């Protein structure tokens, strides 16, 4: 998409359209780095330049994460998983009893009763597998919801990192022992790249709220 086509689609302000038209050649000559610098400058023009957050900010954000982890939504999923886990234990115990009885009956040549209990044991084994899968699914759902709520609690790029948005990247997974300086530097570079990719994704939002006619500054989406 050319700058002119992009401006026609995204820009709703008439005076901004006029300014872009007058400076179209200059804007087209900007490279990707200069465009990124311009966007940062414009977005931070009405705010103080963000400062690196220290240990106090980390502790304060960690308290937010604790609230997310103990939310009603998280507790509800935990209770569901716990109930299924109890059912799994009961089913596994019954399966063990049925299996032992079936073996005893088969040894004593009580074929009909032994095979019947063996079928019951196999059915309970199947139920146990399904319950185990359900427990694992609920655990993953709990982790996923916690991660998403943590990300939504973040207000800065550093807090997004603390929330785990950029964790377990291609560089952090290589740590089998205590990371050395080279590994730490490589991961920091990778996180910077991932942040840039995230910004690009957010910029390329063709259904973004700033396009809609019903959006007004200060309105909660």
pLDDT digits (tens, 9 = 90+) for 121-156: 999 999 999 999 999 999 999 999 999 999 999 988
Tell which residue, 150, 99, 144, has the closest CA to residue 124.
99
Assess if residue 83 is contained within a domain.
Answer: yes
What's the domain range around 96? 71-166
d(CA 186, CA 171) in angstroms, rounded, equals 7
Assess if residue 171 is contained within a domain.
Answer: no
Assess if residue 44 is contained within a domain.
Answer: no
Q: Is it the case that residue 53 has pLDDT exceeding 60?
A: yes
Residue 221's pLDDT band (cuts 50, 70, 90) = very low
Assess if residue 43 is contained within a domain.
Answer: no
Assess if residue 162 is contained within a domain.
Answer: yes
Assess if residue 213 is contained within a domain.
Answer: no
Predicted pLDDT at 10: 81
pLDDT digits (tens, 9 = 90+) for 194-216: 988 888 888 877 776 555 544 45
Assess if residue 191 is contained within a domain.
Answer: no
d(CA 199, CA 194) in angstroms, rounded, equals 9
Assess if residue 48 is contained within a domain.
Answer: no
Predicted pLDDT at 139: 94
Overall domain count for the chain: 1
Q: 92 with 127: CB under 8 angstroms?
A: no
């Amino acid at each position: 998409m050319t700058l002119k086509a992009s401006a026609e689609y995204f820009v709703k302000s008439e005076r901004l359209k006029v300014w872009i038209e007058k400076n179209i050649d200059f804007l087209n000559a900007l490279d990707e780095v200069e465009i990124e610098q311009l966007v940062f400058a414009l977005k931070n023009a009405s705010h103080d330049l963000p400062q690196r957050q220290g240990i106090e900010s980390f502790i304060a954000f960690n308290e937010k994460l604790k609230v997310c982890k103990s939310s009603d939504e998280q507790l509800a999923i935990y209770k569901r998983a716990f109930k299924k886990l109890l059912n799994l234990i009961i089913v596994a115990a019954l399966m063990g009893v049925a299996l032992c009885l079936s073996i005893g009956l088969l040894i004593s040549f009580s074929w009909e009763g032994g095979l019947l209990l063996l079928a019951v044991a196999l059915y309970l084994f199947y139920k146990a597998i399904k319950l185990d899968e359900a427990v694992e699914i609920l655990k993953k759902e709990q982790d996923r919801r916690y991660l998403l709520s943590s990300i939504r609690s973040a207000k800065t790029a550093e807090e997004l990192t603390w929330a785990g948005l950029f964790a377990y990247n291609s560089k952090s997974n290589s740590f089998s022992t205590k990371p050395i300086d080279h590994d730490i530097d490589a991961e920091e570079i990778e996180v910077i790249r991932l942040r840039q990719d995230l910004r690009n994704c957010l910029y390329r939002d063709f259904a973004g709220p700033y396009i809609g006619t019903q959006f007004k500054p200060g309105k909660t989406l």
